[in-house]
Amino acid sequence: MDFKISDELESMRKMAYEFAIKNIKPTMEEDEKEHKFRPEIMKKMGDQGMFACLAPEKYGGLELPEGHMAATLMAIEVARVSPSWGLPFNLQMNGPQNVLLKFGTEEQKERYLPGLIAGTSGGCFAITEPNSGSDVASMKTTAVEVDDGYILNGTKTWISGVPYCDCGIVYAMTDKAAKHKGMSAFIVDFKTPGITQRAIHTKLGLFCAPTGEIFFEEVKIPKSALIGKPGQGFAICMTMLNFTRLSSAARAVGVAQSCIEEACKYANEREQFGQPIGQFQMIQEQIGRMSVEHEAAKLLVYKAAWQKDQGINNTLETSMAKYYAAESANFCASEAVKIFGSYGFSSEYPVERFLRDAKSYQIVEGTSNIQKMIIAQFALGYRKA
């Protein structure tokens, strides 16, 4: 495996960082306080080609040979500046786009992909429900087939992108008795009558990233909204998570990097007992461990991205990267807060926000326990792919 990043990838990485500094950072503190999401930043990301790595040119994409690595490097840089903004970036780049590219009909791709790539249309994916999280197949949302379409009923919660979404991949049961084999995936236009979106305002972090609930009440969608075949939804969902997981891992790497940068800067400035605290061995132990955890997570993430660009099925390595990066980001954020002392407990410095935001990586796209379960199932020989 070649760890050298090509000049083209390096320039995309740099572009994403500079984009975040120029377009996100100036209003970030104010937006975090006001829980404000700015759709205009999505549009600017689209103009910059930041959502275009994977899709073919005919939909507005760039279809880069190293598209997953490019998206990964950009996710790291965006989250390094703003973990909040890493989330919409992940969603737009890896969620509905990937599902449509892999399983969508030509009509679905032509209708939805150009807007998602340009950032003029916001997309989401809706799996989680009030009583169904890790146990995806226990979802209660139904899609009942009628002559000219399906009728959707149910509630989705903790959905990123809501209430700003124009469309989304909605997972619903078309045959409850068949359990996970009775789940189907649909691309749904959120202007369809019967759909309500509502923001969740009680979050711990990621304040500039919208998260909310969607209610489907007797929502009539056409047969052409079905993605793949009836009953293929669970397989589509797992494939999608295999991509969004990588981006979540990348964002965690970005947060860990910022925590180390902030902690080192502070440790060189803050003096106690007549010397910078960075001179104390115990602070060095903390920074040393943070650096190694971060480096290990980053390499796992790079490897998973590289494998995806080679077309290698890497469920195991993606789960390893996601698990390790999530835990590493939480470790680094927690250590950074300790290094800052009481200032680490203050919203005047960014590390308390990193700690709050990093908690999300242990939950989204399958919790850390779920990743460990997948990893152990491979190790024990219970699954092969």
Ligand X SMILES: Cc1cc2nc3c(=O)[nH]c(=O)nc-3n(C[C@H](O)[C@H](O)[C@H](O)COP(=O)(O)OP(=O)(O)OC[C@H]3O[C@@H](n4cnc5c(N)ncnc54)[C@H](O)[C@@H]3O)c2cc1C
Single residue of 70, 71, 159, 283 touching ligand X by CB under 6 A: 159
Counting every residue, how long is the chain? Answer: 385
Contact 41, 23 (CB under 8 A): yes
Nearer to ligand X, 338 or 359 (CB): 359
What is the C-alpha to C-alpha distance for residues 174 and 177, in angstroms, rounded to an integer?
A: 9
Contacts to ligand X from residues 353-372, by CB under 6 A: 360, 363-364, 366-367, 369-370
Contact 196, 215 (CB under 8 A): yes
Single residue of 23, 97, 141, 160 touching ligand X by CB under 6 A: 160
Nearer to ligand X, 49 or 212 (CB): 212
Single residue of 6, 11, 134, 284 touching ligand X by CB under 6 A: 134
Smallest gap from Cβ 206 to ligand X, in A, equals 5
Nearer to ligand X, 97 or 211 (CB): 211
Pairing of strands 271-272, 275-276: antiparallel
Smallest gap from Cβ 313 to ligand X, in A, equals 22
What is the C-alpha to C-alpha distance for residues 20 and 78, in angstroms, rounded to an integer?
A: 6
Contacts to ligand X from residues 263-302, by CB under 6 A: none
Contact 35, 210 (CB under 8 A): no
Q: How far is residue 275 CA from its own chain's centroid?
A: 41
Q: How far is residue 249 CA from its own chain's centroid?
A: 8
Contacts to ligand X from residues 303-362, by CB under 6 A: 360
Contacts to ligand X from residues 196-255, by CB under 6 A: 206, 211
HSE-up of 43 (CA within 13 Å, CB side)?
Answer: 6
Name the phi and psi angles at 143, rounded to 5: -130, 105
Single residue of 115, 133, 194, 276 touching ligand X by CB under 6 A: 133
Tokens 């786009």 -> residue = 97
Contact 368, 326 (CB under 8 A): yes
What is the C-alpha to C-alpha distance for residues 52 and 31, in angstroms, rounded to an integer?
A: 26
* CB-closest chain residue to ligand X: 133
CA distances to 230, 258, 296, 318, 368 from 291, in Å: 47, 11, 9, 21, 21
Nearer to ligand X, 92 or 286 (CB): 92
Nearer to ligand X, 228 or 366 (CB): 366
Residue 365 catalytic?
yes
Single residue of 42, 127, 305, 329 touching ligand X by CB under 6 A: 127
Single residue of 19, 158, 207, 266 touching ligand X by CB under 6 A: 158
Please identify which of the residues 77, 262, 327, 365 carries the catalytic annotation.
365
Single residue of 16, 126, 187, 255 touching ligand X by CB under 6 A: 126
What is the C-alpha to C-alpha distance for residues 52 and 61, in angstroms, rounded to an integer?
A: 4
Tokens for 17? 């960082």
Smallest gap from Cβ 286 to ligand X, in A, equals 27
Nearer to ligand X, 89 or 158 (CB): 158
Smallest gap from Cβ 127 to ligand X, in A, equals 3
Single residue of 60, 343, 373, 377 touching ligand X by CB under 6 A: 373
Q: How far is residue 273 CA from its own chain's centroid?
A: 43
# binding residues, ligand X (CB under 6 A):
20
- Which residues contact ligand X by CB under 6 A? 124-128, 133-134, 158-160, 206, 211, 360, 363-364, 366-367, 369-370, 373
Residues annotated as catalytic (active site), given as ranges: 365
